[in-house]
Amino acid sequence: MRLAGGGRGGDVSVFGEGYAAEYDARWPDWSGGDITPFLIDRVRRKSRTANTWLDLCCGTGHVLARVMAAGFAATGVDASRHQLVHAKRHAPGAKLHCANICDVPLKGRFDVITCLGGNINYLTKRGELQRALRRMKRHLAPGGCVVIDTNTAVGLAATAGMEHAQCSADRVLIVTMNYDEARRLGHWYLTGFMKKGRLYRRYEEHHVQRAWEAADLEPRMTQMGWRVSRCDSDTLGRARKDSNRLMVFGYAAG
């Protein structure tokens, strides 16, 4: 394998060009695509008139594509411009914005606001979580619904010590995972190689997620004036103490 550049002097941003391409190719459902049909059905049952959908941390746009196919006008926000390159291709009719979800610079209101795929866990401080929820409240239409899909401590702890590698003709990815139980922080160390012409470009990323439980989210969402419920994101059934992922719903008054 011939390398172009390499080492820590390369692309070290989260969801940089190399990993965004890898993520889009291998794990489109991890951004929330796996639970989107369930959410669309639930939204339609609650409100037949809901027609605008804001997806925060929209990633490569697979959720946006599905909600648009269901008839919603879709808007996506993501902090990675590399992710949004793929989102524009998958959901060409969606409005896309490159921004941090704590400082979403939008003017309108939306019937549905989602933050799926455990992306809320990238907010590792309580203050960041509170700011993001305030932004959601600002942009939620009367009678609208917020859906947050979170990795719990059980889910993040289950990744501790895991390693895996993915390899194809033009991409290689090696991931090592650790979990800091005292701080409830999951760490993913990524080393990848992406083919550029005849050479391979190396990239490295360090992803950090904090476990947010129902006990962290629900009181804050209630303070926003929302009626709150939850379910298990993997089974789509009743939330359990040992759920790896939870969906927490916040319903605004009409």
Three-state SS for 189-245 is EEEEEEEECCEEEEEEEEEEEECCCHHHHHHHHHHCCCEEEEEECCCCCCCCCCCCE
- Band of pLDDT at residue 71, cut at 50, 70 and 90: very high
Q: Is 105:73 a contact under the CB 8 Å cutoff? A: no
Percentage above 70 pLDDT, the chain = 93
Q: Is the pLDDT of residue 52 over 90?
A: yes
- Angle, helices 17-26 vs 81-90, to 10°: value is 40
Task: Provide the pLDDT for residue 28.
Answer: 66
Fold match, 3-13+158-210 / 26-145+214-239: no
- All residues at 6 or more sequence positions from 124 whose CB lies less than 8 Å from its CB, including other chains: 185, 208, 209, 210
Average model confidence (pLDDT) for the chain? 90
Q: How are strands ordered across the β-sheet holding 227-232?
A: 95-98, 73-78, 52-56, 110-115, 140-151, 245-251, 227-232
Task: Find the helix packing angle between 126-139 and 214-223, rounded to 10°.
Answer: 40
Q: Residue 31 has what pLDDT? A: 63
Residue 78, token pair as written in the block: 């993501």
Q: What is the torsional sign of CA 59, 63, 64, 65?
A: positive
Domain ranges of the chain: 3-13+158-210, 26-145+214-239
How confident is the model at residue 14, as a pLDDT?
84
pLDDT for residue 10 is more than 70: no
Beta pairing class for 245-251 and 140-151: antiparallel
Closest Cα to residue 233, out of 116, 119, 136?
116
Radius of gyration of the chain (CA): 18
* Range 66-86 burial, b when 16+ CB lie within 10 A, else e: bbbebebbbbbbbbbebbbbb
What are the backbone dihedrals phi and psi of residue 148, each rounded to the nearest 5 degrees, phi first? -120, 125
Confidence band of 22 (pLDDT split at 50, 70, 90) = confident
For residue 246, list its beta bridge partners. Answer: 150, 232
CATH 1.10.10.10 fits 3-13+158-210, yes or no: no
Count Cβ atoms below 10 Å from residue 229 Cβ, excluding itself: 12
Given the candidates 3.10.105.10, 3.30.1330.200, 3.40.50.300, 3.40.50.150, the CATH classification of the domain at 26-145+214-239 is 3.40.50.150
Cα(first)–Cα(last) distance of the chain, in Å? 59
